[in-house]
Amino acid sequence: MRIQATRGEGNLFRVFTLVYSPFIGKTIPITFYIDTGATMTSISELDSILNLIEPNNFPKSPLLTQGIGGIVSSHLLYNCNILFVSETGPHLERMWSINLMRNITSNQPFTKLSLLGLDFLINYKIYFEYGIMILEK
């Protein structure tokens, strides 16, 4: 099974997904940027706003996250399903939790990019083919 990631903002690789959790009660579109430096998969504050999700309504993570642009706190969205489009059709991945980021120190008004982190990527072989990033299982 192969998922293709194409270039997006800042020439970074991204994948288009649908995310569902019974704790939000709906399916939301999320573009995840591939980030091998991110420990956890995270939904940005901007994507939370666009999808009418209030991170403060979810349990707070005990850890702060240092990233480009500053430190963010996180809230935990549990029991998540992520739907990807693979070369062979839809592919569903289950994740115990995804972080909902909250900006607390950056000069930016909110975190902008949702990140697919190592908690997900560790299960995939990553390589490049004709300018496209491939995630293969």
Nearest CA-CA partner of 38 in 3, 21, 13: 13
pLDDT digit string (tens) for the chain, length 137 residues? 999 999 998 899 999 999 999 999 999 999 999 998 888 899 998 999 999 999 889 999 887 765 555 667 789 999 999 999 988 899 999 999 999 987 666 566 677 889 999 999 999 999 999 999 999 99
Task: Give the per-residue pLDDT at 43.
Answer: 94
Query: CB neighbours (10 Å) of residue 50?
Result: 12
Q: Global pTM?
A: 0.90
Task: Give the per-residue pLDDT at 70.
Answer: 61
Task: Give the per-residue pLDDT at 74.
Answer: 87
Pick the CATH number of 2-136 from 3.30.565.10, 3.40.50.10540, 2.40.70.10, 1.10.1520.10: 2.40.70.10
Kindly provide the b/e burial profile for residues 100-131, where b requires at least 16 CB atoms within 10 angstroms of the residue's own CB: bbbbeeeeeeebebbbbbebbbeebeeeeeee
Q: What ranges do the domains of the chain cover?
A: 2-136
Q: Could you tell me how far CA 50 lies from the centroid of its own chain?
A: 14
Q: What is each CA distance from 30 to 33, 62, 82, 128, 133, in whole angstroms?
A: 10, 24, 9, 23, 18
Task: Give the per-residue pLDDT at 65.
Answer: 67
**Unique residue bearing structure tokens 């500053």:** 70
Task: Give the per-residue pLDDT at 64.
Answer: 72
